[in-house]
Structure 1
Amino acid sequence: MEADMVDIRKFDDHPHTRLPWLDAYHHFNFGPHRHVGRNGWGSLLVWNDDTIDPHTGFDLHGHRDMEIITYVREGAITHKDHLGNEGRTDAGDVQVMSAGSGIQHAEHNRENEATRIFQIWIAPSEAGGTPQWDQARFPREDRSGDLVALASGQGHDGALPIRADAAVYGATLKAGDSITHTLGEGRYAYLVPAKGDVLVNGERISAREGAALKDVSDIRVEVAGDAAAEILLADVPA
């Protein structure tokens, strides 16, 4: 694949929000940030890289008409919502919230250490619907050398369901590993290493940077160097 088919989003170029309890980097425009060319990627609208201080978090607030996938990189996040759902999601695991017609929720780090998450927002296929929340364990060793669907609206076995024609995959890779993902016609992909460096169609991407792809048939990911890597990949419609 030609190098110009991979749009690399360097970490130092991410919009940044710093609060007393939160250190957040935004792959796309979020809140007051309005950078040219950063208004999402297809139906992927938000990819936030959040570090939440111990015993702090997001107090009760609302969303609607959004599929919100939270991947816990380190620590744990505790969810509570107005529907009575409550749960703790550990590092390597995933929670999904279909906001639907409206949901009030809080997300807190109840741990004694910082929690680090990726929060991913995808536009739903249709507005409205009953709001829902769920979580699931995804042991990192179970996705060694293989892309595993973590959240999907495409019927992937074992994935948390979302209300969008989209999927978020995860893989852990050791030195020498490579994987290939086939991207359908008209689809958009966004790949972020949670740790380690990888080559994406020949272009080097470092941890917490982003690779935006479209108009390619295959996405080949290889570990760059001797250190293991962990990646997330979102495959979404335009």
Structure 2
Amino acid sequence: MLKKIESSKMGSSDIGWLKSKFHFSFADYFNPDNIQFGVLRVINDDLVEAKKGFGVHPHRDMEIISYDVNGELTHGDSMGNNNTVTRGQVQYMSAGTGVLHSEYNLGEDTLRFLQIWILPVKNGLEPNYGDYRFNWEDRKNNFLHMVSGLNGNAPIKINQNANIFSLELDQGNEITFPVKEGRQAYLVQIEGTSVINDIELSDRDGMEIVEEDIQIKAVETSHILIIEMKKE
């Protein structure tokens, strides 16, 4: 089963310094038929003006992954972490029993990043933070396995049976991604245009995939993120 979600039909917000697309219900956008996809609760595609950001605020009982598309993303938290990532790099925080954190664009250019929330296997876990500076070339025409569950083999591990992959597929190239029985995946067409099993996706579109392998062909060079998980 494949379901395309056009970016023009997603929830959105524009408060000046922050412009967002909401793949699922978030903030003032509420759709009772679009709360989450399996354990995937949030994907926000955020544009943050230079020298702006999210001040200190609390989180708990959520696995939070931030994928930097362009610009500088600086994280600070009550555990004493203060780090900056750039294009193609990832920050991860297990909010667990509770943590305070902030996210700012301290750079000179607009920041674009994907904010991803995944429900943990259980509540009340110990808070944790990490970041990883992946090499961009490792996702060229290849799925870069960035995030896995605790028993997986990705460099970033979260408290859930889920995996996150990134890909930059050159124009005209094709690649297959398996979604096996009992599994599902959510795909974000971050940049470019691709055809997936005869369905065309443009930048910022999404797709739900359930128990169906997909063939991706890049109409234009395509930057893609896939979150794969147990079927719910």
For the superposition of Structure 1 and Structure 2, which TM-score range results when normalised by the shorter chain?
A: over 0.9
CA RMSD of aligned residues (A): 1.3
Q: Which amino acid aligns with 2:225?
A: L
TM-score (normalizing by structure 2):
0.95
From 79, 82, 89, the counterpart of 1:86: 82
Aligned twin of 1:233: 226
Aligned twin of 1:31: 27
Q: Does 1:69 align with 2:62?
A: no
User: Are 1:154 and 1:166, in contact at CA under 8 Å, matched by a contact in 2?
Assistant: no
Deviation by residue 1:20-64 (Cα, 9 ceiling, x = unmatched) = 311011011101211242111111110000000110100000111
Aligned twin of 2:147: 151
Task: Work out the CA distance in 1 between the residues paired with 2:157 and 2:181.
Answer: 23
Q: Cα distance, 1:185 vs. partner?
A: 2.1
From 214, 222, 226, the counterpart of 2:210: 214
Task: Work out the CA distance in 1 between the residues paired with 2:5 and 2:150.
Answer: 27
Q: Which amino acid aligns with 1:45?
A: R
Aligned twin of 1:223: 218
Which structure 2 residues correspond to residues 161-180 of structure 1 after superposition, within 5 A?
A: 161-180=157-176
Secondary structure of 2:203 counterpart:
coil
Aligned twin of 2:191: 195
Question: Which has the larger displacement, 79-88 or 170-179?
Answer: 170-179
Task: Work out the CA distance in 2 between the residues paired with 1:174 and 1:158.
Answer: 24
Q: Does 1:97 align with 2:93?
A: yes
Secondary structure of 1:142 counterpart:
helix
User: Are 1:45 and 1:121, in contact at CA under 8 Å, matched by a contact in 2?
Assistant: yes
Structure 1 gaps, min length 5: none
Deviation by residue 1:142-200 (Cα, 9 ceiling, x = unmatched) = 11111111111154434211111001100111022222222132222100111111112
User: Are 2:148 and 2:154, in contact at CA under 8 Å, matched by a contact in 1?
Assistant: no
Task: Work out the CA distance in 1 between the residues paired with 2:32 and 2:125.
Answer: 33
Task: Work out the CA distance in 1 between the residues paired with 2:214 and 2:32.
Answer: 26
Runs of 4+, deviation exceeding 3 Å: 154-158
Q: Cα distance, 1:221 vs. partner?
A: 1.4
Structure 2 gaps, min length 5: none
Task: Work out the CA distance in 2 between the residues paired with 1:128 and 1:188.
Answer: 26
User: Are 2:179 and 2:209, in contact at CA under 8 Å, matched by a contact in 1?
Assistant: no
Q: Which amino acid aligns with 2:218?
A: V
Aligned twin of 1:13: 9
Q: Cα distance, 1:118 vs. partner?
A: 0.5
Question: Which has the larger displacement, 49-58 or 125-134?
Answer: 125-134
How many residue pairs get matched? 231
